[in-house]
Structure 1
Amino acid sequence: MTPTAHSAAGPAARPHSLRAAVIGSPIGHSRSPALHRAAYDLLGFDCSYEAVDVTPEDLPAFVAGVRGSGNWRGLSVTMPHKTAMVDLVDSVTSLAGVLGVLNTVTVDASGPEAVLTGHNTDVAGIVGALRHGGVLEAPRSAVILGGGGTAAASLAALQLLGATGVTVFVRSLGRAAPLSVLGDTLGLQVQLREWNGAAAGLLAADVVISTLPPGGADALAGSLVDLPVPREHHPQPVLLDVAYDPWPSPLAAAWEARDGAIVPGLEMLIYQAVEQVRLFTGSDFRDPALVLKVMCDAVGAPAR
């Protein structure tokens, strides 16, 4: 199967000297092209950026093609490739190595062979999104929903925000066991809990991060309606739902109905994309505040 590129560029568009893309499957919903193109236009960075649908079966061949083309600068990596890509790059940064997942690949084609390096900018994206949502002090209690690669990045982000313990609700304790090991590495006390306790558990938290795909928390949202507010509770707990299409998600709507603050995954996407642009553009990168502004404008996010 040939990977499919989703592009807004018309047939008369001027070809660029460099290439970058977001890869995943499915990928047509991605807002990354709008974010990156706005930043590249601002910086005068001569690079295209497309959304390319790459299945797990096609991933090794796609990466080989990137290595051999000579004009790739970087890849944004989304589901389901964040773990598999670790074994396909030449090296990873210390953070990506600790987490075991990456979402960004830089391509250095200056030598006789291209060198691919894996990074994780999701951590910076989560930190930026939560701070934007009002998390300015260390969370007293934090909950993560889901046990995949984004959950790993969420643990690192919460540790950077000052959390000392995190409760993770998952559907399979066995598959999520590596998160406990990661917690030890990060100096976090991680408690893995069965999914059936998630509704009550998240209502007792200052900060909740849902790492589930769209629709993954819909049933949980319905369970929140009749649950009482715990006696000891943050005055306005914050929910970051990494799913952003559609928005608000049922979980976010239920959370907001209980007077909680909600942060869409689009905020995480924006803040992690700023770091990707920094990595891809190198010496062309400047004025991060203005880069952030044009990226927000490109996807209709509130000004900051």
Structure 2
Amino acid sequence: MSQPYAEVIGDPIAQSKSPVIHGFWLEKLGLPGRYDRAHVTAEGLTGYLAGRRSDPDWRGCNVTMPHKQAVIPLLDRLDPLAARIGAVNTIVPEEGGLVGYNTDAPGFLEPLQPLLAQTHYFRMARVLGTGGAARAIIAALADAGMVIVLSGRNVEKARALLDELDPKGEHHVAPLDHFADATDFAFDDRTSCLDLVVNATALGMTGQPPLVFDISHAPPGSVFYDIVTSPLETPFLKLARGSGFATVDGLSMLIGQADHAFRRFFGATPPRGEADAELRSRLLA
């Protein structure tokens, strides 16, 4: 007997944790359906989507690297946020066509919502990295009223990204190695301010060199956020926590973006709150 299903596509794909997340929620809600992995190469992307269009059981897919931009010309419509970001991580069949969404942006912001709900005199985010993951993060932070300092190896690329994603914002750029050396900068009173330091690079990921960041660049009360999920406790987060700063790990964004996708795939609200602790245990098993 057929059942509704969704999946995640990418190349490679074996490392994806999305099937565990969506499978956990389907199980908890007692919903019929499944969530799979599908290894799709660049050459096979067009054929994959063409085949899924005619499958009545297919509820959509999440899209991971390297396809988040390549899928765009193959879709019938883009959600406005996905069009602005220029990247799609969720595809859903709607009204006879394929619609592209970006759930990375709201997923990134989800663990920050208690802070963002507060009133601040000033909000600043130091975002380290100018790759594909940074696009959704920049758009999300700009919409949350953050002044962004975008840091990358190529400052021209950083400036172009800011100008593309938030052309009216008063943002700044800095070379990535600027944050590697200590600073004696005297931060002003950060009371009633919100400061973030975000690792949007793959540095610190298993098999990659660590991100070099000197803690003196973090204003008092900063929140450190690392989107890397393997390992979950990166050197970047260890440094921050050891210095007394609050931290947010990569599973927070991963679960947050999956929440938005699950609602579109299966038409149900995933169990969150206390259930997140059990889900994290499964993801780390």
SS of the residue aligned with 1:212? Answer: coil
Q: CA RMSD in A?
A: 2.9
Paired AA for residue 102 in structure 1? V
**Matching residue within 49, 52, 59 for 2:35:** 49
**Matching residue within 152, 155, 158 for 1:170:** 152
**Matching residue within 249, 260, 266 for 2:251:** 266
Paired AA for residue 220 in structure 1? L
Alignment match, 1:26:
12
User: How do residues 206-225 of structure 1 correspond to structure 2 at under 5 angstroms?
Assistant: 206-213=195-202, 215=204, 218-221=209-212, 223-224=213-214
State the TM-score, normalized to the length of structure 2. 0.83
Paired AA for residue 150 in structure 1? A
Offset at 1:275? 0.8
Distance change (3 Å), C-alpha of 1:79 and 1:91: same
C-alpha distance after superposition, 1:235-281 (max 9, x if no partner): x2111111111121111112222222211110011111111111112
Alignment match, 1:155:
138
Alignment match, 1:117:
99
Distance change (3 Å), C-alpha of 1:92 and 1:150: same
- Counterpart Cα distance in 1 of 2:141 and 2:276: 25
Distance change (3 Å), C-alpha of 1:32 and 1:62: same
> What percentage of aligned pairs have identical amino acids?
30
Alignment match, 2:236:
251
Structure 1: gaps of 5 or more residues = 1-14
SS of the residue aligned with 2:113? Answer: helix
SS of the residue aligned with 2:98? Answer: strand
Distance change (3 Å), C-alpha of 1:201 and 1:300: farther
Structure 1 residue ranges (4+ consecutive) displaced by more than 6 angstroms after TM superposition: 201-205
**Matching residue within 207, 222, 235 for 1:237:** 222
C-alpha distance after superposition, 1:196-237 (max 9, x if no partner): 21336999781022111253684433x52xx6467xx23x21
State the TM-score, normalized to the length of structure 1. 0.78
Structure 2: gaps of 5 or more residues = 188-193
SS of the residue aligned with 1:27? Answer: coil
Q: How many residues align?
A: 271
SS of the residue aligned with 1:141? Answer: strand
Alignment match, 2:65:
79
- Counterpart Cα distance in 2 of 1:183 and 1:53: 30
